[in-house]
């Protein structure tokens, strides 16, 4: 495992880390703490030291599992969680400093920890990024020892760029993958200039970039890959990176021709993300240990060649860019 510095923090984090949206099991199933414990401990055994969770994952159960892991292990494990998505309705007006403080304190109770290493605003409405009082409350929480650092999780490049204007923002979590390439332009450059770390989520485009899906693949009714393709429940870009499913399948077939010796595209897709040195870490999820093993294969792959990088870009430019590039 290789490690990279996370922005302004003193954290040296595993370049392949773990997102825990699905750590309790596959979509739609009740949260399994046995499953979560197995995946989380296997991750630490393999050198992962950065775990990303949120208060809404499994309605707090994911945070409980992560906290239990940290308390049971002797290794240095950095915990990142998020706040804000509990708000109903999830609007700019609902974001208030006192409410965010309550969320942070509830996360501490869920995890039974004294301090959160990294708290992140959880994809708030764009207007929130223009309200200094929202960012200031985290300075108070840091003074009180309840958090160590603040980050943001964004949907749009604009939100990331605005977040960079707040000195206490140490990291930006964003969607970046072979089907979502816009961030590598201005946002990557500006984040590096501000010494802000980049945490990459949805690196496999909700599984599309594993190369294992087909037109015959079915998803359960309560799987976001079924019900959120048009953004019915949350931002459309979180599901298949906002790419039409059929278009995505065709693009994946083209990618397979670029990497003909790779039966599983997932490690290649993760290795592609890590080719960008502005990225601090990538946080693919896993709902079973075999998926964790697949993700970690990326650490063993050689660097992607310049020719292959150009071919991936050409597939994006031809098939994906016209449909999604300026949306996020």
Helices of type H across the chain: 33-45, 61-72, 97-111, 132-143, 157-163, 186-193, 224-227, 245-258, 265-274, 289-296, 306-315, 321-324
Asked whether residue 243 is domain-assigned, the answer is yes
Contact 17, 281 (CB under 8 A): yes
The reported pLDDT for the residue numbered 232 is 87
Asked whether residue 283 is domain-assigned, the answer is yes
Domain of residue 46, CATH code: 3.20.20.100
Domains of the chain: total: 1
Say if strands 116-122 and 78-83 run parallel, antiparallel, or are unpaired. parallel
Buried b (16+ CB within 10 A) or exposed e, 245-266: bebbbebbeebeebbeebeebb
The reported pLDDT for the residue numbered 247 is 94
Per residue in 197-236, pLDDT (tens digit) is: 999 999 999 999 999 998 989 888 888 899 989 888 888 9
Q: How far is CA 204 from CA 3, 78, 212, 282, in A?
A: 21, 23, 11, 10
The reported pLDDT for the residue numbered 109 is 97
The reported pLDDT for the residue numbered 27 is 65
Asked whether residue 197 is domain-assigned, the answer is yes
Torsion of CA 322, 276, 54, 29, to 10 degrees: 70
Asked whether residue 264 is domain-assigned, the answer is yes
The reported pLDDT for the residue numbered 223 is 85
Average pLDDT, rounded, for the chain: 95
Q: How far, in Å, CA of 282 to CA of 284, rounded?
A: 6
The answer for residues whose C-beta is within 8 angstroms of residue 309's C-beta and 6 or more apart is: 272, 275
The answer for residues whose C-beta is within 8 angstroms of residue 252's C-beta and 6 or more apart is: 208, 209, 211, 213, 265
Percentage of residues in the chain with pLDDT exceeding 90?
87
Going by C-alpha positions, the residue among 283, 266, 230, 291 that lies closest to residue 27 is 291
Whether residue 297 is predicted with pLDDT greater than 90 in this model: the reply is yes
Asked whether residue 328 is domain-assigned, the answer is no
Token pair of 230 as six digits: 């048009």
Q: How far, in Å, CA of 267 to CA of 259, rounded?
A: 11
Range of the domain at 291: 3-323
Going by C-alpha positions, the residue among 209, 199, 153, 156 that lies closest to residue 178 is 209
The reported pLDDT for the residue numbered 28 is 66
Q: How far, in Å, CA of 48 to CA of 75, rounded?
A: 10
Per residue in 237-291, pLDDT (tens digit) is: 889 999 999 999 999 999 999 999 998 999 999 999 999 999 999 999 998 899 9
| pTM score, whole prediction | 0.95
Going by C-alpha positions, the residue among 233, 304, 315 that lies closest to residue 271 is 304
Q: How far, in Å, CA of 192 to CA of 196, rounded?
A: 6
How confident is residue 6, by pLDDT bands cut at 50, 70 and 90? Answer: very high
The reported pLDDT for the residue numbered 29 is 77
Per residue in 150-192, pLDDT (tens digit) is: 999 999 999 999 999 999 999 999 999 999 999 999 999 999 9
Q: How many CA atoms lie within 13 A of 173 on its CB side?
A: 27
Contact 147, 79 (CB under 8 A): no
Percentage of residues in the chain with pLDDT exceeding 70?
99
The reported pLDDT for the residue numbered 204 is 95
Asked whether residue 7 is domain-assigned, the answer is yes
Q: How far, in Å, CA of 293 to CA of 179, rounded?
A: 23
State mean pLDDT over 28-32: 81
Q: How many CB atoms lie within 10 A of CB 320?
A: 22
Q: How far, in Å, CA of 103 to CA of 87, rounded?
A: 10
State mean pLDDT over 107-130: 98
Q: How far, in Å, CA of 152 to CA of 187, rounded?
A: 14
Contact 152, 178 (CB under 8 A): no
The answer for residues whose C-beta is within 8 angstroms of residue 91's C-beta and 6 or more apart is: 125
């Amino acid at each position: 495992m290789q490690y990279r510095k996370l922005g302004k923090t003193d954290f040296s984090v595993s370049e392949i880390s773990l997102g825990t949206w699905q750590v309790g099991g596959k979509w739609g199933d009740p949260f399994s703490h046995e499953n979560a414990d197995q995946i989380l401990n296997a991750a630490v055994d393999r050198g992962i030291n950065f775990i990303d969770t949120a208060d809404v994952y499994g309605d707090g159960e994911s945070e409980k599992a992560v906290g239990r892991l940290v308390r049971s292990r002797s290794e240095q494990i950095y915990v990142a969680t998020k706040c804000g998505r509990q708000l109903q309705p999830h609007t700019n007006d609902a974001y208030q400093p006192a409410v965010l403080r309550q969320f942070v304190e509830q996360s501490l109770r869920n995890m039974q920890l004294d301090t959160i290493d990294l708290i992140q605003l959880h994809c708030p409405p764009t207007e929130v990024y223009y309200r200094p009082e929202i960012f200031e409350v985290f300075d108070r929480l840091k003074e009180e020892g309840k958090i160590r650092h603040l980050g943001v999780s964004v949907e749009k490049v604009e939100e990331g760029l605005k977040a960079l204007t707040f000195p206490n923002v140490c990291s930006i979590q964003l969607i970046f993958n072979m089907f979502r390439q816009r961030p590598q332009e201005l946002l990557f450059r500006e984040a590096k200039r501000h010494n802000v770390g980049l945490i990459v989520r949805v690196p496999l485009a909700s599984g599309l970039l594993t190369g294992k899906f087909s037109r015959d693949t079915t998803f359960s009714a309560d799987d976001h890959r079924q019900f959120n393709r048009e953004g019915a429940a949350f931002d459309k870009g979180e599901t298949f990176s906002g790419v039409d499913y059929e278009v995505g399948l065709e693009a994946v077939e083209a990618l397979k021709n670029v990497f003909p010796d790779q039966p599983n595209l997932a490690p290649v897709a993760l290795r592609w993300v890590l080719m960008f040195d502005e990225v601090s870490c990538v946080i693919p999820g896993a709902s079973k240990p075999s998926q964790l093993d697949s993700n970690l294969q990326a650490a063993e792959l050689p660097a992607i060649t310049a020719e292959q990088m150009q071919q991936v870009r050409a597939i994006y430019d031809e098939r994906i860019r016209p449909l999604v590039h300026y949306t996020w």
